[in-house]
Structures are given as C-alpha cells and as structure tokens.
Amino acid sequence: MAAGAPAAQASTFDLPPPGDDLVGHVQIVTARQQDTLLDIARRYDVGYDEIRMANPGVDVWLPGAGTRVVVPTRFILPKSWKGIVVNVAEMRLFYFPKAKPKEPGKVITFPVSIGRGNWETPVARTRVAAKLKNPSWTPPASIRKEHEQMGEPPLPAVVPGGPGNPLGLFALQLALPGYLIHGTNKPYGVGMRVSHGCIRLYPRNIKALFKVVPVGTPVRIINRPEQVGWDDGRVYVEAYPSKGKKGLVDRRLAVIRKAVQQEVARVPGRTASDIDWTDVRRALAQPSGMPVNVTVGTREASAAASSSNPHP
C-alpha cells in the first residue's frame, strides 16, 4: 500500500520485508466521459506505455465513460536499494532515500521518458552532480539541425528558464556529461521514448524529487526488460517489450532462468521447482509490464475481479 500517498497517486511505498521485492497493488478505476488513458496515467503516476500495455484493446484517446481501466501500480523493485535507479526498459525511476531512525525504509517511484532512436539513454553508473532550478537550455548543434530537417522553427542559441522550457522548472544534473533528470513542458509524453537521451518526469514529480534528493546521490541506469521478484513466498515475473534478438521468447526465458537461480541462491530455503514455466513463457510472449505470479498452484484472480478501488 502507498505510504501516505493521496488516493490518486502511487509514488511512495514502505520497503517490503527482507527477501521480498514487490510494492504496491494493481488498481481498477472507471473512466469518466472526459478522460483519456493519458489523463488517468498522469493522475496515478504511471506512464503512457505502462497504461497502454495494461489495457490492450482500450482506446487511448477515448476509452469511454464507464470503461474499467487497469492502473498498473504494482512493481518489482530493482535489486539495488540505494540512491536513484532508472530502468530504461521499464521507463521508471526508483529513489531509495536514507531511512530515518526508527522508521521503515521507503521507495519513491515515478514514470519517466527516455531517449529515442539514436538518442538512447545510456546504461551507466553516475551521481547527481548539481541541482538546477529554472534551468536554461542550450540546444546542441545536432538537435538544432534535427529541428531544421523536420521543418520546425529554428531553435534559439539559449532557451531561458521558465514554463516554456523543455527542461521544465527543475533538473538534476548528472555527472554523466550532457545528461539530466528533469521536468518537461510536454507532460503527456512521459512514459514514451521521446527524449534526446535525458530522463524526463511529470512536472509535479520532478518538483518532489528535487526537494528530497541531495547532491552526490548515486544514480544507476539499467536496462532490464525481464525481472524476477518474490512476495510472500511466491515468485513473480515482470516483462517489457524488448528489441532485436533479446526480444525472442526463448532468449528471454534463458535470462529469466538465470535470474531465478540467482534469486534462489540469494534467499536460503527457496526453490525454483515450483515455478510454472508455461506461465513464465506466456508472460514473456505477451509482456504486460505488470508482475505476474508464476508459482505453481497459486493462481491469482485477475485485476478486474480482485480490485474494488473506485475512481476518485
């Protein structure tokens, strides 16, 4: 359950007990006449791809009044519970603040946009080098040339800070030269591969992150389209679309098998013998971005049947 988060958000959670990896819960809401899936995604702190994968067959722009919408707010945490971790395959950021004395550890998680095409966000280990409020933007020559080729108005040499700045109102400058974690003046693009390599957040989310993340915080950018986690003795698989050969089910199955072996070694007394590999294969063939229980004999009710959370 969210720890102190408003009903229409899912961003801050208590860390699970030792040996477990999942936080949050899937929610079901009822779309209003004026809602798009993107409106609902933004309301609940999920991104475009997340809401789309969780609702196949639902019109993104006109789901329709009364349509039941799955909100994918259950997550397998990355294995590193330190600083900021960004999984580019998941398009999601996790921040693990230092625990306060006598209080449970927390994780704050937000959807992000990442680099597109030849501008892919790099896998790297870095840190927060500086915090920038109302940052200005100096478009590099490559981006200015791209704008011209697309027939768009020429970019100025420097875009001043303010509401119209593509970097938004807050930014965390990384020690990785040329890369930021920042806001945006186009929030409905969050959860897509649309940036020039930087990591974008919804405006309210970067504002919240900016307040709590100190300079020097370690940042790890990973690319994990397949994840394995445990919750209350059950094993879960979480899969995202993957490009190229790595997207083949057999290849991804081998990755999951290795991950399960590592998990079994990490937690004494656990075994991979009760895993339904048919369910694993199905989860990889039809990636939903949501944790899928693949433990033999422990089928869970569908999100639609098991949740009764009304639309706020």
Q: What percent of the chain has pLDDT over 70?
A: 82
Catalytic residue among 25, 147, 182, 311: 182
26 in Cβ contact with 303 (< 8 Å): yes
Q: What pLDDT is attached to residue 306?
A: 37
* Intrachain domains 26-72 and 83-222 with the same fold: no
Q: Strand, coil or helix: what is 116?
A: coil
Query: pLDDT (tens digit, 9 = 90+) per residue, 65-79?
Result: 999 999 999 999 998
Q: What pLDDT is attached to residue 108?
A: 96
- Fold held by 26-72: Membrane-bound Lytic Murein Transglycosylase D; Chain A (3.10.350)
How many Cα neighbours within 13 Å face the side chain of 144? 11
Catalytic residue among 147, 196, 198, 311: 198
pLDDT at 216 over 60: yes
Smallest CA-to-CA distance from 191 within 97, 58, 50 is with: 50
Cβ contacts of 17 within 8 Å, gap of 6 or more: none
Angular region, 64: left φ>0, alpha ψ -120 to 50, beta rest: left
Query: pLDDT (tens digit, 9 = 90+) per residue, 76-117?
Result: 999 889 999 999 999 999 999 998 888 889 999 999 999 887
In 254-290, which positions are buried (b, 16+ CB within 10 angstroms) versus exposed (e)?
A: ebbeebbeebbeeeeebeeeebbeebbbebbeebbbb
Q: What pLDDT is attached to residue 148?
A: 65
Mean pLDDT of 211-222: 96
Q: Are strands 124-133 and 170-174 parallel, antiparallel or unpaired?
A: antiparallel
Query: pLDDT (tens digit, 9 = 90+) per residue, 194-212?
Result: 887 899 999 999 999 999 9
| 147 tagged catalytic | no
Q: Which two tokens stand for residue 277?
A: 């590999």
Domain range 83-222, its CATH number among 4.10.93.10, 3.40.50.10860, 2.40.440.10, 3.90.1010.10: 2.40.440.10
235 alpha-carbon distance from chain centroid: 20
Cβ contacts of 171 within 8 Å, gap of 6 or more: 131, 132, 135, 180, 181, 182, 183, 206, 210
213 in Cβ contact with 98 (< 8 Å): no
| 182 tagged catalytic | yes
Query: pLDDT (tens digit, 9 = 90+) per residue, 250-304?
Result: 778 888 888 877 777 776 766 666 788 888 888 888 889 999 998 887 655 334 3
Q: Pick the residue with more confidence: 310 or 35?
A: 35
> How would residue 310 be classed by pLDDT, with cut points 50, 70 and 90?
very low
221 in Cβ contact with 121 (< 8 Å): yes
Query: pLDDT (tens digit, 9 = 90+) per residue, 1-34?
Result: 333 333 445 589 999 998 899 999 999 999 999 9
User: How many Å apart are CA 15 and CA 145, to the nearest integer?
Assistant: 45
Other CB atoms within 10 Å distance of the CB of residue 45: 27
Mean pLDDT of 158-164: 75
179 in Cβ contact with 200 (< 8 Å): no
Q: Which two tokens stand for residue 163?
A: 């509401």
Q: What pLDDT is attached to residue 147?
A: 62
Per-domain residue ranges of the chain:
26-72, 83-222, 226-303
